[in-house]
């Protein structure tokens, strides 16, 4: 059986949630492997809208859902998301959700530190979601975090808190924040522990057994490849590896279990937060993309920056994630443009580049080289087969495939679950 990893191939919000929900009909297990509640994945099913942050998008179909150790987990955010979904008729219980015991927790100190840093005037803002993601990952690699399993044993929890707070109180003093109220934090953790622990499992083992039993596993990435901590537009990135390789270490299933990597690609480009964006538009075309695409963040409500499709970047992210095929989303947003532009290279002081350089000063200086294509006046919204697409739209899609050197496996033409065109089945053996 084939196992599939879904990753964002741009700066996030490519439509991963919709595609994961669509694919999860044929999956047995759906696993998140990185990120946290900085993610916002929107599903639309028969007009009903579901917004997921921490829960894998497979929960809506009642599939076995997994939060892997690569995620940073805010237990209170998780419980409130479970409750909110319950109100929409989606019931999440330990029967359908498991959390890796070795998952690090996001605590209130992390959110406070994240926001305090963003509000400092002395350094440039990253434009984070303020959810504590960065500080939580720092504590994970700093070997001083509280993990899910620690909630089961009070003496261990005490040791973890001592180590964590020694570090945080020193930092907080420097930022002018009060020392942490250790007793209150511990009490909050003891209170939340019995609500979280029933979900805690040795996920690596469950995944291994599922694989051996021939189950289909779908890995749901969050954020996008250009927000990757190593390969993204550093420091304007998130604090995890968002590339497909992370699916293995973020769940404990080895890389040989991955058969297909599906890159989710928006038919144009968007980005939330600060950082370089070579094909960004500041004119009415940009405004039109934002309005037609409803480009507002799911998590923070911030306006997303919009620009033309950047084939240079997507070719690069298809390489770094080893993408087997892409799902091209939001093609319908381009309906009615007279001409469309695609960035096919960068100009750096008269020299042509076919990739985004790593140095921040160069990233800020490259200017896009565009190729123009004819637009289409017909509507592609809701199209469910190639035959429903106008010739110019097909040409646009084919040109993208050529430029990024990767085939289109799926096409999405509206937010609705079933407005999806299947070209190649990622689950096919």
What is the phi/psi pair of residue 248, to 5°?
-70, -55
10 is in an annotated binding site: no
40 is in an annotated binding site: yes
- 40: contact with Mg ion by CB under 5 A: yes
115 three-class SS = helix
Options 34, 57, 145, 238; binder of ligand IMO; rule CB under 6 A: 238
- CA 180 – CA 169 distance, rounded (Å): 7
Q: Residue 330 binds which entry of Mg ion, ligand GDP, ligand IMO, none, with Cβ cut-offs from 5 to 8 Å by kind?
A: ligand GDP
Active site includes 51? no
71 is in an annotated binding site: no
* Stretch in the footprint of ligand GDP (CB under 6 A) among 15-23, 196-204, 243-251, 273-281: 15-23
Active site includes 167? no
Q: How far is the CB of 87 from ligand IMO (least distance, A)?
A: 22
- 295: contact with ligand IMO by CB under 6 A: no
5 is in an annotated binding site: no
Show the site string, 39-58: x = touches ligand GDP by CB under 6 A, - = not: -xxx-x--------------
Please tell me the chain's helix, strand, coil percentages from 3-state DSSP, rounded to the nearest 5: 40, 20, 40
Nearest to 243 by CA among 319, 321, 324: 321
Q: Tell me the C-alpha to C-alpha distance, in Å, between residue 87 and each of 83, 96, 298.
A: 6, 17, 19
Show the site string, 389-418: x = touches ligand GDP by CB under 6 A, - = not: -----------------------xxxx---
User: Binders of ligand GDP among 279-318, rule CB under 6 A?
Assistant: 294, 298
DSSP 104: B
- 20: contact with ligand IMO by CB under 6 A: no
390 three-class SS = coil
The distance of Cα 164 from the centroid of its chain, to the nearest Å, equals 27
26 three-class SS = helix
38 is in an annotated binding site: yes
Tokens of 61: 């179909």
238 is in an annotated binding site: yes
- CA 366 – CA 374 distance, rounded (Å): 25
- 31: contact with ligand IMO by CB under 6 A: no
- 13: contact with Mg ion by CB under 5 A: yes
Q: How many CA atoms lie within 13 A of 415 on its CB side?
A: 16
- 239: contact with ligand IMO by CB under 6 A: yes
User: Binders of ligand IMO among 247-286, rule CB under 6 A?
Assistant: 272-273
Catalytic entry in 37, 140, 168, 341: 140
CB of 200 or CB of 265, closer to ligand GDP:
265
Per-position DSSP letters for 208-257, written without gaps between them: HHHHHTT--EEEE--S-GGG-TTTSSTTSS-SS--STTHHHHTTT--GGG
Q: How far is the CB of 303 from ligand IMO (least distance, A)?
A: 11
Tokens of 52: 């997921």
- CA 280 – CA 413 distance, rounded (Å): 23
Q: Are 312 and 10 in contact (CB under 8 A)?
A: no
DSSP 344: E
- 13: contact with ligand GDP by CB under 6 A: yes
Can you state the angle between helices 391-404 and 311-321, rounded to 10 degrees? 50
Beta pairing partners, 97: 65
Annotated binding site: 12-18, 38-42, 129, 143, 223, 238, 298-304, 330-332, 412-414
The binding site for ligand IMO (CB under 6 A) comprises: 8, 11-13, 38-41, 126-129, 131, 133-134, 222-224, 227, 236, 238-239, 272-273
The binding site for Mg ion (CB under 5 A) comprises: 13, 40, 298
Report the catalytic residues: 13, 41, 140
The binding site for ligand GDP (CB under 6 A) comprises: 8, 12-18, 40-42, 44, 294, 298, 329-330, 332-333, 412-415
Annotated binding site for GTP: 12-18, 40-42, 304, 330-332, 412-414
């Amino acid at each position: 059986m084939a196992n599939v990893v879904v990753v964002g191939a741009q700066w996030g919000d490519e439509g991963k949630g919709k595609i994961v929900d669509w694919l999860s009909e044929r999956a047995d297990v759906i696993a998140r492997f990185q990120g946290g509640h900085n993610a916002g994945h929107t599903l639309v099913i028969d007009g009903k809208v579901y917004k997921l942050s921490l829960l894998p998008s497979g929960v809506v179909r009642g599939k076995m859902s997994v939060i892997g150790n690569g995620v940073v987990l805010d237990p209170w955010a998780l419980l409130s998301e479970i409750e909110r979904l319950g109100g929409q008729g989606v019931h999440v219980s330990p029967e359908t959700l498991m959390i890796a015991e070795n998952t690090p927790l996001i605590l209130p100190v992390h959110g406070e530190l994240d926001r305090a840093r963003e509000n400092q005037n002395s350094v440039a803002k990253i434009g984070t979601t303020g959810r504590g993601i960065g500080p939580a990952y720092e504590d994970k690699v700093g070997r001083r975090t509280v993990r899910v399993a620690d909630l089961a044993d009070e003496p261990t929890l005490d040791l973890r808190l001592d180590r964590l707070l020694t570090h945080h109180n020193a930092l907080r003093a420097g930022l002018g924040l009060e020392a942490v109220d250790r007793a209150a934090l511990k009490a909050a953790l003891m209170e939340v522990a019995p609500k979280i622990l029933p979900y805690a499992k040795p996920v690596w083992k469950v995944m291994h057994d599922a694989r051996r039993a021939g189950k289909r596993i779908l890995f749901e990435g969050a954020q996008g490849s250009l927000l990757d901590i190593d390969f993204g537009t550093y420091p304007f990135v998130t604090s995890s590896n968002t590339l497909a390789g992370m699916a293995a270490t973020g769940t404990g299933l080895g890389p040989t279990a991955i058969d297909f990597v599906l890159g989710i690609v928006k038919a144009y480009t968007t980005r939330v937060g600060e950082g370089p964006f070579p094909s960004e538009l500041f004119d009415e075309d940009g405004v039109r993309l934002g309005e037609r695409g409803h480009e507002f963040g799911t998590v923070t409500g911030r306006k997303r920056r919009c620009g033309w499709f950047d084939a240079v970047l997507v070719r690069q992210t298809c390489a770094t994630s080893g993408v087997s095929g892409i799902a091209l989303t939001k093609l319908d947003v381009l309906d009615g443009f007279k001409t469309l532009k695609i960035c096919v290279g960068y100009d750096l002081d008269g020299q042509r580049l076919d990739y985004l350089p790593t140095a921040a000063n160069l990233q800020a200086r490259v200017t896009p080289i565009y190729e123009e294509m004819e637009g289409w006046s017909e509507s592609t919204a809701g199209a469910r087969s190639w035959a429903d697409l106008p010739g110019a739209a097909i040409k646009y899609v084919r040109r993208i495939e050529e430029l990024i050197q990767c085939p289109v496996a799926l096409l999405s033409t509206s937010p609705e679950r079933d407005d999806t065109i299947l070209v190649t089945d990622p689950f096919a053996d």
